[in-house]
Chains A and B, each alone.
Chain A
């Protein structure tokens, strides 16, 4: 039953993408149209725009926050006392456990136009003129908003990886007179290569398919398709269209591309991260 509820939608997504199912055809009068939806997809004038947006979104969030900020936070928190590190880790976990609806609203208010937005009030103190940051810098806004949620994942993985690095290496480096920066550059970062790769791989996939925060804030705007990413476009086409005639078939074709990407990527990860060892049979067995 459970597996059926998961597998069936995956298969069905692909099947629907081969039909012209939409609100106007209803659930009974659809026709099989073969790969026509995919043809329409590649001819879509917005395809390049949506693709470009998706790349900005995924790469931007990964570089600046999910890996970048996470690395900075992990490096900083290992240099303060355990209690202080705990406080900051909890603080950064807050966005992750806050319901997305509330979290998105908090950012909208934080970035709102003067005199309401808190960000403008704080920046006003140092003389930076205020505006609605979400509309003025939609990409900065979307990436920051997503990044503050995503950073905690990498932060926790990197900090536990750092604490597993043998201490002798640092002691030896200190005896040789290495500075804090040299220790980070020559010892810590090389040790973190695998965790960084893992977080990048894992989060790329999550980011590709996640659009909830964008839906709740800019909803693809402001203006025409400025922050419309692939998954959001599929959602709009299939379930929330401006004209009421939602095209399940075309939307499913866009979603199917993500499914195929997801499967391909995770099969690669299975290989790269030696999941083979994890799924190997138990060593001792009594039946």
Chain B
């Protein structure tokens, strides 16, 4: 396929890609620039302003502390990823390798459940958490997000197990390994790359989550970075652009770093090609 276009044509292709991607390049470049500038008009910065980053050493008036919010986001994302991997990898193994009544129903229903995301359920979730006393608590939001993300997670991880040849497992079983030991000693190491990619994916999904914490975690002590960000930017007329852009860079930097360092694995999971 690559030889379909002559070498000279390739530059035209690259140029077309650059033009199509220009908004992305410009927007992210501007964000970084604006976070260190007193003010900007378009791409022209005016003055260097380190005080945009003052949220790092002081708490902003009437807002949650940025580090507390970051800690909340981090806890949320790490716990979420941990539980998803833990529960998902076990459930997926059982669904991939064992035959039990209700298996087909369970698999079809998880994919059906996945098709209505948090939004449609938000009203009911709000009332349930109020009822359980978990409203405005990080634990509650983690449970909700876990429930919403797990179905797809189990499907993806089932795909990893399906890709492992049965012979390997059969050999271990004939050698007298128990089912649990096979899972732990033979299967898990084989699908480690896939699990790793999935864990990163779950972490990013948690780190970026906005709607659930926005609706379910209103108080300042439990705010996540996304809610703090929305609050700061919401006071539109008075918004301090320098401050908001600096906080935005602070917020997306971990996500971009994690993604940049692991993108090889992540792109595989997105194209559905992870075989472990």
Residues on A facing B (Cβ under 8 Å)? 1-10, 12-13, 16, 27, 69, 72-73, 76-81, 84, 88-95, 97-102, 105-107, 109-110, 115-122, 144, 148, 152-153, 156-157, 159-160, 162-163, 165, 167, 170, 174, 180, 183, 205-206, 209-212, 215-216, 231, 234-235, 238-239, 248, 251-252, 255-256, 258-259, 262-263, 265-267, 270, 275, 278-287
Contact = CB atoms under 8 A, between A and B. Distances in A.
A115 B225 CA distance: 29
B119 interface: yes
Nearest to A130: B42
B13 to A, nearest CB: 5
A170 B23 contact: no
A8 B98 CA distance: 27
Contact of B115 (A106, A110, A265): A265
B17 A88 contact: yes
Contacts of A287: 98-99
A88 B251 CA distance: 23
A286 B256 CA distance: 45
Q: Is the interface of B mostly helix, strand, loop or mixed?
A: helix
Nearest to A2: B147
Closest 4 CB pairs of A and B: A121-B42, A5-B147, A9-B124, A12-B124
B271 A100 contact: no
B5 A79 contact: yes
14 contacts: A77-B17, A99-B229, A100-B210, A101-B226, A102-B229, A116-B40, A119-B23, A159-B271, A231-B119, A234-B120, A238-B123, A258-B120, A284-B170, A285-B98
Given A100-B208, A180-B9, A209 B4 contact: no
A105 B233 contact: yes
A254 B36 CA distance: 45
A9 B116 CA distance: 11
Contacts of B273: 160
A251 B125 CA distance: 13
Contact of B120 (A144, A209, A267, A278): A209
A211 to B, nearest CB: 6
B208 A248 contact: no
B138 interface: no
Given A5-B143, A110-B26, A239-B126, A80 B14 contact: yes
Contacts of A2: 87, 143, 146-147, 150
Given A115-B42, A255-B121, A285-B99, 10 more contacts: A73-B20, A91-B25, A93-B270, A100-B210, A121-B44, A122-B43, A157-B272, A183-B4, A259-B121, A284-B170
Interface stretch (B47-55, B104-112, B185-193): B104-112
Interface of B: 1-5, 9-10, 13-14, 16-17, 20-21, 23-28, 30-31, 34, 40-44, 87, 96-99, 103-104, 107-108, 111-117, 119-128, 130, 143-144, 146-148, 150-151, 166, 170, 173, 204, 207-208, 210-211, 215, 225-226, 229-230, 233, 241, 244, 248, 251-252, 255-256, 259-260, 263, 266-267, 270-273
Contacts of A255: 119-123
A9 to B, nearest CB: 4
A270 B125 CA distance: 27
B44 to A, nearest CB: 8
A135 to B, nearest CB: 13
Given A266-B115, A284-B166, A180 B5 contact: yes
Given A90-B263, A100-B226, A266 B112 contact: yes
B1 A16 contact: no
Given A78-B2, A98-B208, A282 B99 contact: yes
B37 to A, nearest CB: 12
Contacts of B108: 270, 275, 279
Contacts of A278: 107
A124 to B, nearest CB: 8
B4 A16 contact: no
Nearest to A145: B23
